Amino acid sequence: MWTWTEDVTINESWPMVLFGVLGVLVLVWCWRRRRNHKRWYFWPLPLLLPCLLLIAGSAANNHFGLYVRLGDLFDQYPFPTASASTLSETAGSFPQGVSVATQIPGTQSGVGMHPAFIWLPPQYFEEPTKRFPVVYLLPGSPGTSADWSTGGNAPTTGLTNAQAGNPAILVSASVGENQLSDTECVNGAQGNWQTYLAVDVPAYVNANARTLTGKQNQAVAGLSMGGYCAQALSLRNPTTFGLFGNFSGTTMPTYDGGMQALFGDQDDLTATVNSYTSDWIITNQPASRSVIGKVVTGAQDDPALLQDESQFVAKAQGFGMNVSMVQPPGDHSFYLWTTALQIWLPWALEQMGKPTVIAP
């Protein structure tokens, strides 16, 4: 059901102005109470705190662009949504595509059930005998599976490509227990998240949706931490994901508490960290060199991040890998990552298989 909140844009300056005006009114109220010899600080002053928090939150959202519309805050998305049963349907009227909200179990990883969005293109229902390539999209930290639908605008980008003749299934998966989790998508102290993303998520999608399987038909991309995850997932699992997109991500795991805290007790911590480091993987595991990738990092992003990915791309190309890098204008925000997906997705879909009639 449509609600007015779906169309109210909030990644602009007006929310900050509104909450700033409210803060000023609170201060005026305090001043008037003081002039009247009342306890000016007793009731009105505490109201300044929520005003300041709202101003800070609005400023952060304006910078990063995660919540575009007011409805995004309340899971009121400006695109069609449906239940998991839609994955098995062969008929339906979804000219804009449809986002299936589901839960994907950690069957092999043991990390439990976690939310995911699976966007199906219009052709999924218009051509019910065909199977489709799959693109997995990973959020950053903090982040949730909904981020690619809100700030990343994935349904719109997916629809644009579908209308251009390159329909694909887009899967936005969870990468941690909650919004604040920083798992780096590794099998570590927080659980077997590498296994969840490399085994459980593709197994669920391939079993429940009409997908084209095989590495050439399954790609993975992500933003920030999710960009690192996507690159490492593909390199570590080259028979599962044939293509990757790294949007503003690093080439190695990073964690505020250090590698010991991230991985937990390990017989050889250095060896474990190496196995999740892109440079080490392509140097020591030749099978990883079959992967195709594109790195998209903003020209105004952290110079250390640009240098890190630039040297990896040069090293990968030295091994003869089909890996490239582009640097559109932008910094570490959803404005850049929306653009990155618009750049990367058509490129990836051209490398991947076309929708095909395949017997069950």
Cβ contact 120:209 at 8 Å:
yes
pTM comes to 0.86
pLDDT of residue 75: 61
134: nearest Cα among 216, 197, 196: 216
What integer pLDDT is reported at residue 1 of this predicted model?
A: 45
Q: What is the pLDDT of residues 236-277, one digit of tens each?
A: 999 999 999 999 999 999 999 999 999 999 999 999 999 999
**pLDDT value of position 74:** 62
CA–CA gap between residue 239 and residue 228 (Å, rounded): 18
Query: What pLDDT is attached to residue 301?
Result: 93
Residue type, 104: I
Q: Which residues contact 268 (CB under 8 A, 6 or more apart)?
A: none
DSSP β-bridge partners for residue 130: 357
Q: Residue 37's pLDDT is what?
A: 73
Provide the β-strand partners of residue 325: 295
First to last CA, the chain: 35
Counting as low any pLDDT under 70, the low residues of the chain are: 1-8, 10-11, 39-45, 61-79, 359-360
Q: Which residues pair with 172 in a beta bridge?
A: 117, 137
Residue 204's pLDDT is 98
Look at residue 17 in the predicted model and tell me its pLDDT.
77
For the chain, where are the E strands, in sequence order? 81-82, 98-104, 114-120, 130-131, 134-138, 169-172, 187-188, 191-192, 218-223, 243-247, 292-296, 323-326, 356-357
Read off the pLDDT of residues 58-96 as tens digits, 9 standing for 90 and up. 777 666 666 666 666 666 566 678 889 999 988 888 999
Whole-number pLDDT of residue 52: 78
CA-CA distances (angstroms) from residue 282 to 144, 217, 250, 327?
Answer: 29, 21, 15, 23
Q: How far apart are CA 325 and CA 322, in angstroms?
A: 10
